[in-house]
Amino acid sequence: MIRDVAVVAVLFFVTSIDTILLILNAVSNSLYRRRKTYFMIFCILCTVHPLYSYAVDSIARFPGLRLVSALIIIYYAFRLSGEPPQLSSHSKTTRRTVFALIGTTVWLDAITSIDTSVLVSATSPSFIVTAAGNVIAMALLILLAPRLYRLASEESWLNVSVGSFVAFSAVIQLQGEPLLGRYTDAIYLFPAGITALAAVGAYGWHKQLR
């Protein structure tokens, strides 16, 4: 069981780094103290992540769900790539209440975690293992979050790189989308993913690195 928990924790950790950065970028103008914000995000993710993985086998089969999720993720990838985190406090969207913080975290985690949930669901033997691995991964991510966020704020190239990778992952997660039929094969998705990666990278370069 310990081995299974460790494997699930690694999967959650590696595939959730982009999710953490997107969430922090979206709630960076919260009025709550940073530690309180991180603690709330940790509690939310520890609750919803295992539930997503538990329900993914049925939810992921709904036609169009992956497609809509991919489009939303690509939108946030463009936003992350083109807007430095330290400027996000000037965003038109003000997230000041606890309900806004919870809603933003749940929303972004939901749309970015379909591929993670599918992978964990296929790997984990039980809900308990999933929950335990998730707590470990989220604890590590929250501990590292300030440094990751600061690094992304100071290094524009890293921001652009993460945004580009997020866009690529969004396209690749379309495997199994019923509405796309045979176009979900790797021969179609991989070039599409590279195109999305290049588009987001070019946008970020134009906005931040030029």
What are the pLDDT digits (tens) for 120-152?
766 777 888 888 988 999 999 888 887 877 776
Amino acid at 52: Y
CA–CA dist 167, 27 (Å, integer): 20
For residue 17, give every residue at least 6 positions away whose Cβ sits within 8 Å of its Cβ, in sequence order, or none: 141, 148, 162
Is residue 34 predicted with pLDDT exceeding 60?
A: yes
Residue 87's pLDDT band (cuts 50, 70, 90)? very low
What are the pLDDT digits (tens) for 92-121?
444 456 777 788 888 888 777 766 776 676
- What angle separates helix 98-112 from helix 114-123, to the nearest 10 degrees? 60
Q: How many CA atoms lie within 13 A of 17 on its CB side?
A: 18
Provide, for the chain, the percentages of residues in helix, strand and coil under a 3-state DSSP scheme, each rounded to the nearest 5: 85, 0, 15
CA–CA dist 30, 169 (Å, integer): 28
Q: How many CB atoms lie within 10 A of CB 27?
A: 22
Looking at the chain, how many residues does it have?
210
What would the mean pLDDT of 30-47 be, rounded to a whole number? 77
Listed range (1-15, 66-80, 86-100, 168-182) with the worst mean pLDDT: 86-100
Whole-model pTM over 0.75? no
pLDDT of residue 33: 60
The label of the residue with tokens 């590590």 reads 140
